[in-house]
Chains A and B, each alone.
Chain A
Amino acid sequence: MFDLRQLTPSGAIGLLGLTVFLVITAFAPLLAPYNPYDIVGGPWEPHSDAFLLGTDNIGRDLLSRLLHGIRTTVTVSLAANLLAFAIGITLGFIAAALSGWGDQLLSRANELIMSIPTLIWALALLSMLPPSIEILIAVIAVLESTRIFRISRAVAVNIVASDFVEASRLRGEGLGWLLFREILPNAWSPLMAEFGLRFSFVVLFISALSYLGLGIQPPAADLGGMIKDNKDGIAFGIGAAMVPGATIILLAVSANLFVDWLSQRRRDPRRTL
């Protein structure tokens, strides 16, 4: 699946971008020149030798906050996405394996949650729950899992119909074996591509929530929250909010380019006239 010799230029850019983001995520505290919570200068100081990207709305070093912000956003997004996939895949496979009324029940319940836009759900739920990172991750994961449920169920329905699954059923294997030993190994590659795609969605989603004030709570640095902190400067032509914004775009573009390459390798989409 990851045959790097077949890497296309855009796939290479995506992979490179993701690697850089992962390195920053791992080593942000070592890379950051200042403590991201310390006020080290005046508000919105322009770029200088001391502050490579200038300072933010209350005089914290923008570069340090950016590096820590990337760390927070990437970690929280990864955690939420992993949890969402765990929930979505398990339930999706169960629905496909059960078929009949069990499938109906799960699928209808899923449609019901999907009948309200995710952002509306998230805002309503987060407004009533105590603000904490764990709860934020859980809420996003549950809402995201509805999309993953759909896809993993669709993938699994085809697998369940094949002979080797029938054979293992006749052999008397339990549901757990069916889900993780028969279906999962055959569903890996479409789900991997989906993971990358959903990851970039989750990054945007968490950033939007933080921007609205219901995501990651201050003073912790995260990309969406940094836009919220510095947005008032835009009216005066101060570009501090553009830095975290551009970073979100780079992160999402990297993930998308990489995913495009992954899924293009699975099927050739080139159908010309």
Chain B
Amino acid sequence: MEFLKQRGKSFPMVAFFAVMIILSFIIKNGFYQHIFILTLFYAGMSSAWNIVGGYAGQLSLGHAAYMGIGAYTATLLYLKMGVSPWIGIIAAIIIAAAVSALISYPSFKLHGTFFAMSTLAFGEVMRIIANYWRGLTNGSVGLSIPFKPSLAHLMFEERVGYVYFAMIFLAVVLVISSRIKESRAGYYLNAIRENEIAARSLGINTSLYKLYASVISASLAAVGGVFYAFYILYIDPSGLMDSAISIQFTLMAIIGGLGTLWGPVVGAILIIPLSEFMRAWLGGVGQGLHLVIYGLIMVVVVIVSPGGLINGYKVIIRKIKKIKA
């Protein structure tokens, strides 16, 4: 029975990735493939953010910095020393984890809005450092990666290669995320989010668990950064580490359902295709019009289902069950 239960829990995950694989065969158009890749990528990034922002309730607005750290680490290692981006991923994880541990410890003493502000400042400082450290990062000119397709270089002749890589990235993030959720750490992070003082009185080392969430979240975001660099093949500080990108990770999770496993994925599936289509269709007419749509969706979700789309769905299911019973 226990075994069947476990199976039942992983069913949505298996079903989701089955659909994604089928879609990867159906979608052949380059533009649609690009949207597909971005959706998977953002779903992964937002899910990574969700570990610290949703589970632990620590509203970080500086996650683009970790993505930037990952992208720059792997790109520089590749360009300057010819190191394979696969090893670059490991280096990116180590550096992002170290930076997040260093930053988190003092900033976790701050609460609520003040914590959010400190992470926003951190993100901006990282972007400015990347801009001014020209000797290393080439400043605002950015770095281009020459296209040499091979698996070892994490570059693919066919765009579908990137689809699969993004899918694997999302799968890794979701598996880690669900493992955390269904464990002591997940329960403890939720308790910290709900009431830190009560959490401490129940034997939870709140600083340690927040640090743990932050390090895992930052490491996964850095892996996403490596993928982004080797997909776009060009990185620059403002395109990669802008605070608007950090906020996007946050908004997707909020729209989909903060602190839920599938919320960020739902948020990304809704937002990314919509904003990409808007950008393409409205073109020059609507510079920034997709942001207006974005805002509208936010307002509607917050009014109709304050807990995000996933929770709205749960509420409806619960009501139906009540009517039936």
| Chains A and B come from one and the same complex | no
Residues on B lying within 8 angstroms of A by beta carbon are none
A residues engaging B (CB < 8 A)? none
